[in-house]
Amino acid sequence: MSDPRIVQFHAAAEKVLTFLHAEYSKLQTGRANASLIEHIEVDAYGQKQPLKTIAGINVTDARSIAIQPWDRSIIANVEKALQVADLGINPVNDGVLVRMNFPPMTQERREQIVKVVHKLAEEAKISLRKHRQDVHDSIKGEKDEDVKETLVEQLQKEVDAANAKIVDSAKKKEQEVMTV
Alpha-carbon distances, residue 62 vs 49, 51, 102, 109, 161 (angstroms)? 26, 20, 9, 17, 35
* C-beta separation of 135 from 87 below 8 A: no
Band (122; pLDDT cuts 50, 70, 90):
very high
Position 20 scores a pLDDT of 92
CB atoms inside a 10 Å sphere around CB 18: 10
127 versus 104: the higher-pLDDT residue is 127
- Mind listing the pLDDT tens digit for each residue in 75-121? 999 999 988 877 777 888 998 899 988 877 788 888 888 898 999 99
Q: What percent of the chain has pLDDT over 70?
A: 97
Residues 6 or more apart whose CB falls under 8 angstroms from that of 79 comprise 91, 93, 98
Name the range with the highest mean pLDDT among 6-10, 31-35, 140-144.
6-10
Rounded distance between C-alpha atoms, residue 103 and residue 38, angstroms: 19
CB atoms inside a 10 Å sphere around CB 15: 12
Domains along the sequence of the chain with CATH: 4-26+106-178 (1.10.132.20), 34-101 (3.30.1360.40)
Average pLDDT of the chain? Answer: 88
Residues 57-68 have a mean pLDDT of: 88
Residue 161, Cβ density class (10 Å: 0-12 exposed, 13-18 middle, ≥19 buried)? exposed
The reply to whether the predicted model has a pTM over 0.85 is no
Please name the helix (run of DSSP H) or strand (run of DSSP E) that holds residue 170, with its range, or none.
helix 145-178
Residues 6 or more apart whose CB falls under 8 angstroms from that of 23 comprise 120
Encoded amino acid at 156, one letter: Q
* C-beta separation of 148 from 3 below 8 A: no
